[in-house]
Chain A
């Protein structure tokens, strides 16, 4: 039972991570396009300034929980995906310091350099996380002799499609975030981008759902227990609601986008169960919630910790989002008494 609970929590941590850091990535990719001068670029950066770091901790927690609850999966997943993970690390490090470094030297070239870093190293992890999850949905070529893939086998059509799908989702998410958190031209350009991007996202989402039928075994769980179709149904519905809400309230559209990311990730998680990483060549070597988990003692211990502390974390993170709920204006960025990036 605890194995199932931890499988669900494992999925939930990744889903929350993508829901939160997703708009950071989206805003980062978009900022050269929706912000035309230095103060507008700083506006974009400052919309994520107070929260991006807390968002990224969900990734560290997802990694830590994979280690604690499913150590065998952690060991294989991280060593088999060594090179893409290295690139993700590389990108997250550079993107992380860029917020702090960008404004610290008063020079146009310096700011431009870090603007490019923010753009490129937001795009790269967004794409690579998608490619990695696409490959996990397909399964990795692993058996008794270990792993038989390379970086290039990961870049297969389905993996790349999932990567593009993730990028488009995060772009939608980031554009909606900027629509409500930025002001003036930045907000207007983001709204117009969000409206245009939506159609492309819809097409790729449909392509993803169809291709998933052929490239993966994710739908098997759904056909054997059709009640689960509710999850992808909500995903599709929330994608449609983004369009509907965008006409009246971008805040509601953003919440719909949050729900979309959560349910898209869970569409994969439900389909994977009980596998965390299926083997694409021999299902006997799939890493499951049972054969790769920690001892019952550790699962119970971690469950107690999670039940007590995760609600506390969520409570104060919501509190901090509320404190910074006001959109960023140009006047905010010119205020000498308020520290901004």
Chain B
């Protein structure tokens, strides 16, 4: 055992000195930065899609524009972009912060007052009521005269960020614009759209991206529905009542059986294991690859025989596996520390409160514990298989062919990540938990469920037994393979090695 640890320690030191090790450690901050920064870049560089409308009715488009203007104004109040206060006119800037501070219902009341001739509620402050009454028409004018460009700067939610109406109605010209990609699509609203919905068209060269079609279609549908209701003499309030959709409030069962409201932190918690699985997979891949490379390097460097004159083949194999496990644990510990620093330390230091309580998700001892345990078990399982096969090869190219089947199995968890994350206790997830090569990944994937204690116990026992069997088989191959030269043996020969009785017990010196 002592000698095994000597081998392990040397292996560890050697790996820590490699570029691969530092690349492995630094990958985490790089991924974190990418995850944090890339969506912002994508958001900032998105180009709004241009569209045009030929309105044969002559009324629908105006109504849609009006509705859109109101919706956008609502976004102005709810999602105002920080730092753009300078763009507000002076009269509005004075009391705008007060409006921003109101709850959604009061804001809706103000929108209703400004655009639908509604009445202001009594619960608004006197000052605010006065300001609004005094500046009502100025606000409406200011808003109506803003360009799309100006509007889009005021809030990220305003529609001009995504879609912009181009004032062209000439068919020939529209076709040309679509050809030259100056226009994403144009709509034709048929004359009898309210009567029977006929004559509507959506023309575009890109029919896979349906965002614009769905968005504009919904706006027109709403107008058409309102028209039909009013033509049928249905009272406006009744129409609203009929139109009102039922929305279910997301609730989850707490530990004590009481229901709790679902918030974004719960959703983050639900999906956190997927992130853990991803890193679990990467770390198992990196470390088993390292093990194979080192084994073959030692063999091709002709060091094996010298080593075997001092230690048994089993000690050598065990030492290598332990040494690289140590390397792997160092990498994932560094990752966890960096991730915790990034999600907890950084916001704390900067005094920012994250919209989602990631710290509790990240630092969840259940997740962290599962991560470390399944890293070790998963690594050991694949390490045994790959070190056995690797010992038969004289160079990496030979190894690539021989370990291909194992690597194909290693790929499976990546494809399972999302389906299992969506349904962590579904039958697919449950069944695959009992397949030892997949157990570490699938069980990590399900950690938010979490699986029942029985499942943890049974799958872990199954996995540990498989690891023991894998080691036993690997040892049989390794002690012969590591001294083998020439072409690596085929499947039949490997099978013969596995069946061959062990000539003599090997005791570690």
Q: Do A and B come from one complex?
A: no
What residues of chain A have their CB less than 8 Å away from a CB belonging to chain B? none
